Amino acid sequence: MTKADIVQAVYARLGGFSKKESADLVDLVFETMKETLGRGEKIKISGFGNFVLRDKRARQGRNPQTGSPITITERRVLNFKASQLLKHALNEGMEGQSGATSSSRATATGTAAGAHGAVAAGSGAANSGGHGPHG
């Protein structure tokens, strides 16, 4: 789902708003979330989950291509923890399927929050989306 899809859903479901007003509303929600996270505050959305900003210390890593040691700079990372209600809703009807598992933690960068302008605040370094030695 893209931001444009969210705008379309708001426009279609709420009614009474123009497409531009729907887009402005969605932008306002994301901007408010970004500002809140930028101040280091948590975002708790009842029935959905929590967005938590964590500071990671600088540490030693390894370049996956060359194997040479590197220093990974300190930075902030954004984590999302789904609520029990969301987990249950996502897993309804999967009880009978083998191999159905539920992940309680997911890194939000590169997904909903990261795709809509939530940036790593403070250090200026963006998270790589959880890939590589520092995710």
- pLDDT tens by residue, 13-70: 998 899 999 999 999 999 999 999 999 999 999 999 999 999 999 999 999 999 999 9
Name 61's Cβ contacts closer than 8 Å, sequence gap at least 6: 69, 70, 71, 72, 133, 134
Average pLDDT over residues 82-107: 70
Higher pLDDT pick, 97 / 102: 97
**Per the CATH hierarchy, to which homologous superfamily does domain 3-115 belong?**
IHF-like DNA-binding proteins (4.10.520.10)
Give the distance between the most distant pair of CA atoms in the chain. 58
pLDDT of 88 reads 95
pLDDT of 13 reads 94
